[in-house]
Amino acid sequence: MQIDVTHDVFKLAQVFTISRGSRTEAKVLTVRLNDGVQTGWGECVPYARYDETLESVEEQIRGLPNDVTRAALYDLLEPGAARNAVDCALWDLEAKRAGKRVWDLAGLPAPKAEITAYTLSLATPDAMQKQARENAFRPLLKIKLGTPDDMPRLEAVRRGAPKSRIIIDANEGWSADVYAELAPHLVGLGVELVEQPLPAGADDALREIERPLPVCADESCHDRASLPKLKGKYDVVNIKLDKTGGLTEALALKEAALAEGYQVMVGCMVGSSLAMAPATLLAQGAMVTDLDGPLLLAEDRETPLHFDEKGVHPPKPDLWG
């Protein structure tokens, strides 16, 4: 089997800003596995927060044996972007070899469309109100916060989109005191969930403060090994393929998390439809689906995912799976 890796760049529709910085394009790695007859492919988004670069992830992938299997992959690579792209490409290759869809191979029901959140970029209150007004037709908005001046931004979004459901992502940007002060106001403004309010290395404080709305672990949750450290701190786990290291572990994490009483959010990095496609299987029945990456792009894969009023639809075979 031949393993090919390419660097691909997708321009964003507009500058995308979170508390850690801004970007104007999505830089991804595309992996293609060719067995001489069929080609399976997958995408990953290396993330600096986890000390990943395009180059380091590519090196991991190129170091794999040509006969790698999904089972062997888990002994060869740690959870992360490299393993994700290869795992998803192997799923795609297996489906094409079998002439079946991935969900049939995984023993899952055929997926349906799921309403996805749409992320508003961090900006001034006036700019965020304008973004909210332009997207007020969307049923679920996600707001990037995590600064000392977040309440004016949140209030501006609520004015711009009075009927939309709202979740927020603080990207580890608050302290325990800031979150405790803000939480009642978040509830008053109808916020339904807050993602990673405290830094992953300082989130034990969540055990000691009241959680009046569900708190979701993002940077604090990677794979099943993360779950024991989350007890008493979080109500929801955000499962992202680039954190779990692929669909195989993501499905196992979802099952384990639900069994332990957590609710599930399915999220993404900013990537193309190829990166989101496997996650549409994972999103079935999730409390929150956040697979809006393609909606933030000015350009996408040749066969993109379909989005409409019902949400994000499962991929066509020409895209993945």
Distance CA 307, CA 312 (A): 5
Q: Is 83 helix (H, G, I), strand (E, B) or coil?
A: helix
For residue 37, the 8-state DSSP code is: S
Helix (H) or strand (E) holding 301: none
Residues 44, 49, 50, CA angle at the centre, nearest 5°?
A: 65
Distance CA 257, CA 261 (A): 6
What is the DSSP track for 120-168? EPP--HHHHHHHHHHTTTSSEEEEE--STTHHHHHHHHHHH-TTSEEEE
Question: Which residues are the active-site residues?
Answer: 144, 240
Distance CA 115, CA 152 (A): 27
